[in-house]
Amino acid sequence: MKSNRPHRVLPGFNLSLGYALVYLSLLVLIPLGGLIAKSAELSLAEFWTLATSQRSMASYRITFGTSLLAASINAVFGLIVAWVLVRYEFPGRRFFDALVDLPFALPTAVAGITLTTLYANTGWLGQYIEGQWGFKIAFTPWGIVVALTFVTMPFVVRTVQPVIEDIEAEVEEAAATLGATRWQTFWRVLLPGVFPALLTGFALAFSRAIGEFGSVIFIAGNIPLVSEITPLLIIAKLEQYDLIGATVLAVVMLVISFVLLLSINLLQWWAANRHRSEARELDPGSTGNPANTQGAAA
Amino acid sequence: MSIEVKNITKRFGSFVALDNVSLEIPTGELVALLGPSGCGKTTLLRIIAGMESLDEGQVLFHGEEATHVEARERNVGFVFQHYALFRHMSVFENVAFGLRVKPRAQRPSEAAIRDKVMSLLKLVQLDWLAERYPSQLSGGQRQRIALARALAVEPKVLLLDEPFGALDTQVRKELRRWLRRLHDEMHIASVFVTHDQEEALEVADRVVVMNKGHIEQMGTPDEVYTAPATPFVYKFLGNVNVFHSRLKGPWAKVEQPEGDGKGEGGSTAFVRPHEIDILREQREHALAATVQHVQAIGPLVRVELTHESEIIEVELTRDRHLELQLNAGDQVWLLPKQVTVFASAKAEPQRWAPDWVI
């Protein structure tokens, strides 16, 4: 029997869909489901008490606050780094380009120890910052921000980079001949084009920052109510064999993360589809060649 | 507003893109910069627009120095080959862009912007696409939107860089005619770059033929076509048969008009395909040739012949073809009705019609 499914060029739709769903279930859904099932052993009131204890609340604030700050810092400076790496030719560009990935490869504990050594009040940088301005970085939430910014830096740079490469220089020139200032060109022409990718990078950096553990515990000082992140609190509970307490915290983190990521995804979907709402009707083939292949002397 | 460029030189590294180029474009004129790729025509256009710096020379707008004025202050409309529309903006917003980025004091009201944009979209006959996005348009539509966008700021000069280069033939022909009409309505100086000689000859008031960074010839389409100033222009505009003087044979004499006295050095004779007549019987000075191929499509009949393995192209009228009844393999004789001789690549052309032609 011929089904009325649309014809596809590549066979194996059923197989690959089934595989994808099983894969996602095994790796993501079942473990997380187990987590929630475990927490269901508690009554709602007990759950609420554990989830909203003073120490837990402080740890959520620190975890999500520092993550948000780190992701925002990276959104701004990661964009600049990506821009510079794409648009400018300078000696050592490839070297710096490779450097961007380093935070991915480095064991996070190494990063944490290195940053702590640098920013502690006896460290190379810390002694000046603390000595000159009396500003403590290591063993405060600021230290967490520094560590998270370091660890999540590649996300923004690497998601934004290909999009910037795709922007034709001609678009900037067109804006200039129409009388736009540099700032207007950036704000009205370039940024809207990069925005969906920037949001993706931000979301990736943010979610990575929420889960980050290794680099933070060295620099944070882990003072309860001041610089203790939720993942550390979970470990602490586990070490005291408080399995259920750890589960509760994990579920809370899971829910908050999910809600945040979902809203970022919706925003991103909106940003990306705003100008593609209707079906393409005419001549999708004539999108034009990348215009920057055109030589200046042509 | 008139445009004047004086003695412009532009180098990219050791490559000289423009070599001491001077050009004047009065208001109301539509000028084509014509030349093969790499001849510097786009560079010249970009220098006029202020998007490219220059090494030497001056750009004057209406007699005023504009060499170092920034692109955004030059008030030029620029149309790119690949449209360069803003992808994330609707057609309406694309056209409105130039008005919206004006300083607050000069910015028209929202209603005025709407009126202006819609009237421009009507002008380019695409007002029904105002809410679409560039990705939903065809190439021809995109280019018309790009033109409307450039016109929104009421530029004094309109510059178009291979505006129809990425479009197919049919659309290209339509847009050409349409550009001509539009230009006549606007009373501005327009310059467009093209490598398509047909386009240049059909649309422009004046054609500037460029090659290797300098201007070969400037003139009306008729002038450059019928009286090319250099061998390059001859070859670039239309089909032409080239006879080098070293080619011995009956026409070797033809190529050396009497009194030239330069011997048989580097002189070259150019004869357009329609300037050659085919004869069935031998005559003095006539060149023997063999018919290879006869293509009888349209009002002209194209005949391809060979003379000592050199290919010669001839165009005959239908009547003449009927008289001759040529077939492939026939032995015939050729006589030129008009010959242009360049004694050397730099020399002035000498045009003459041999008196031994019937």
pLDDT in tens, chain B (358 residues): 788 888 889 988 888 888 888 999 888 889 999 988 888 889 999 999 888 888 888 888 888 888 888 888 888 889 998 889 998 889 999 999 999 988 888 888 889 999 999 998 988 888 888 888 988 888 888 988 999 999 888 888 899 998 888 788 888 888 888 888 888 888 888 999 998 888 888 889 999 999 988 899 999 999 888 888 888 888 888 888 887 754 434 454 444 444 444 444 566 778 888 888 888 888 777 788 889 988 888 888 889 988 877 888 888 888 888 888 888 888 888 888 877 877 766 677 777 666 655 4
Asked if the Cβ–Cβ distance from B136 to A280 is below 8 Å, we say: yes
The fold of the A44-282 domain, in CATH, is: MetI-like fold (1.10.3720)
What does pLDDT average to over chain A?
81
On chain B, the residues whose CB falls within 8 A of the CB of A168 are: 82, 84
- Provide, as residue numbers in chain B, all residues whose Cβ is less than 8 Å from the Cβ of A179: 72-73, 75, 98, 101-102, 153
Judge: B84–A168 Cβ closer than 8 Å, yes or no. Answer: yes
Domain ranges in chain A? 44-282
Mutate to test the interface with A, among B43, B82, B157 (most CBs of A within 10 A): B82
Query: Per residue, what are the HEC states of chain B?
Result: CCEEEEEEEEEECCEEEEEEEEEEECCCCEEEEECCCCCCHHHHHHHHHCCCCCCEEEEEECCEECCCCCHHHCCEEEECCCCCCCCCCCHHHHHHHHHHCCCCCCCCCHHHHHHHHHHHHHHCCCHHHCCCCHHHCCHHHHHHHHHHHHHHCCCCEEEEECCCCCCCHHHHHHHHHHHHHHHHHHCCEEEEEECCHHHHHHHCCEEEEEECCEEEEEECHHHHHHCCCCHHHHHHCCCCEEEECCCCCHHHHHCCCCCCCCCCCCCEEEECHHHEEEECCCCCCCEEEEEEEEEECCCEEEEEEEECCEEEEEEEEHHHHHHHCCCCCCEEEEEECCEEEECCCCCCEEEECCCCCC
Identify which has the larger pLDDT, A277 or A285. A277
Chain A 230-289, residues with CB within 8 Å of chain B CB atoms: 274-276, 278, 280-284, 286-289
pLDDT of residue B63: 81
pTM: 0.74
Does ipTM come in above 0.85?
no
Residues of chain A contacting residue B160, judged by C-beta atoms under 8 Å apart: none
Reported as a single tens digit per residue, the pLDDT across A204-237 is: 899 888 888 888 888 877 777 777 888 888 888 8
- In chain B, residues 119-158 whose CB comes closer than 8 Å to chain A: 132-133, 135-139, 141-142, 146, 149-150, 152-153
